[in-house]
């Protein structure tokens, strides 16, 4: 009758244990990063309502950027000579940094203190129309 042969596994070397420790560290770090990312999504941010006014002859895309995180929130597109109220916008902080564009052309920025922005409409400044005209863009059909 044949006999079974047992092969002994050599004891783990220090270099093998080091790899295990690194793997454990990487897995723990990734789990912590995921937890932080998910928890930031669950934070109930303050929300504001913004009224936007576009007196220009261009269809203007409007976004607002938070000063600290640099997060850009697109507020939508305003037709020429139109006004729109946008609700539920995450409060961008003490200063509201608006960015304007049309047809992929940067129309410039406008920074206003939060209390001014909350008090009345944010009016697309004249310099936006001027920049778009200088870029050779035709006015939007309207």
**Per-residue pLDDT reduced to its tens digit, 57-115:** 999 999 998 777 778 889 999 999 999 999 988 888 888 999 999 999 999 999 999 88
At 8, list the tokens: 């002994």
What does the domain layout of the chain look like in residue ranges?
Answer: 14-43, 47-134
Secondary structure (3-state) at 32: helix
DSSP state of 5: -
> Is the predicted pLDDT of residue 2 greater than 70, yes or no?
no
Least confident stretch, 4-8, 10-14, 99-103, 117-121: 10-14
CA–CA dist 47, 89 (Å, integer): 5
Looking at domain 47-134, which of 2.60.40.3110, 1.20.1560.10, 2.60.40.4070, 3.40.50.410 is its CATH number?
2.60.40.3110
Lookup result for tokens 């770090």: 29
Answer whether 54's CB lies under 8 Å from 60's CB: yes
**Per-residue pLDDT reduced to its tens digit, 32-43:** 777 776 665 556
CA–CA dist 25, 39 (Å, integer): 21
Q: What percent of the chain has pLDDT over 70?
A: 80
Element (H, E) at 114: helix 114-119
pLDDT at 85: 94
| pTM, full prediction | 0.67
Q: Residue 125's closest CA among 55, 69, 76, 74?
A: 55
């Amino acid at each position: 009758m044949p006999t079974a042969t047992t092969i002994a596994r050599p004891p783990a070397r220090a270099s093998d244990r080091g790899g295990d420790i690194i793997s454990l560290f990487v897995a723990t770090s990734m789990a912590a990063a995921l937890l932080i990312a998910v928890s930031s999504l669950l934070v109930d941010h303050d929300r504001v309502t913004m009224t936007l006014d576009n007196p220009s002859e261009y269809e203007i895309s409007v976004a607002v950027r938070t000063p600290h995180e640099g997060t850009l929130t697109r507020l939508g597109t305003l037709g020429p000579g139109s006004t729109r109220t946008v609700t539920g916008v995450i409060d961008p902080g003490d200063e509201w940094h608006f960015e304007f564009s049309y047809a992929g052309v940067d129309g410039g920025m406008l920074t206003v203190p939060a209390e001014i922005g909350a008090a009345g409409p944010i009016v697309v400044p004249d310099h936006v129309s001027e920049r778009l005209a200088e870029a050779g863009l035709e006015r939007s059909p309207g």
